Amino acid sequence: MTDTLWELSVADLRARTASASPTPGGGSVAAVTAAFGCALVLMALEITARRDPSVGDAITAGKSLLDRLGPAADRDVELFEDYLRARRLPRSTDGERAAREAAVAAASAAATEGPLTAASDAVEALEWAHSVLPVVSGTVVSDVRAGADLLLGSVLATLRGAEANVAGLGADAAAFTARLDAVRRAAVAAHTRIESSTPEESR
């Protein structure tokens, strides 16, 4: 089996997602979605570059974002598998139970921190998408907006998975919840700015 989701065909990725396997799960699929959302915006810029080379810096920024968004899909699989391994640790003695509890807590924290990072990167991509709206060519504005829709959906889906892990964080749960809420609000605000941009502002 391949070590990365990105070497699967689209059909194989769809089949694995629809199978009884716990991975790829919501976080991985959300990360793939974010990458494709970013890619749509890049496509709009590449088309625009044919007549306006000045968008080169925006393309470079988008490619950098895409390089960050993509690996989150495989990272989510790794984090979930680490969590499952922690849950399977022995708990026959007090010492084993203490070690298992610590391992589960650490894995839960990592499985929350990872999605938070991925969602924050997607918010940054949303901000970038908003910044390029005024310079893209007319008809591909719809691709920028569609890419932004996918990025927002990715953030919301990613945070769903992170929320599922908060319960295992104990005293740190409230702080993580506050951070999740802040990222969610930032994503919605960025997407709202894109939605509220007028056609004139998008030319």
> Which residue has better confidence, 74 or 201?
74
Within 10 Å of residue 169's Cβ, how many Cβ atoms? Answer: 17
Question: Which pairs count as long-range contacts for 175-178, CB under 8 Å and 24+ apart, including other chains?
Answer: 176/109, 176/112, 176/116
Task: Write down all domains in the chain, each with its CATH number in brackets.
Answer: 25-196 (1.20.120.680)
Going from the C-alpha of 161 to that of each of 93, 140, 154, 157, 175, the distances in angstroms are 31, 32, 11, 7, 16
Q: What percent of the chain has pLDDT above 70?
A: 96
Report the chain's mean pLDDT, rounded to a whole number: 92
Give the pLDDT confidence of 42-58 residue by residue, as tens digits. Answer: 999 999 999 999 999 99
pLDDT tens digits, one per residue of 138-196: 889 999 999 999 999 999 999 998 888 777 677 788 888 899 999 999 999 999 999 99
What pTM value is reported for the model?
A: 0.90
H helix or E strand, kind and range, residue 82: helix 72-87
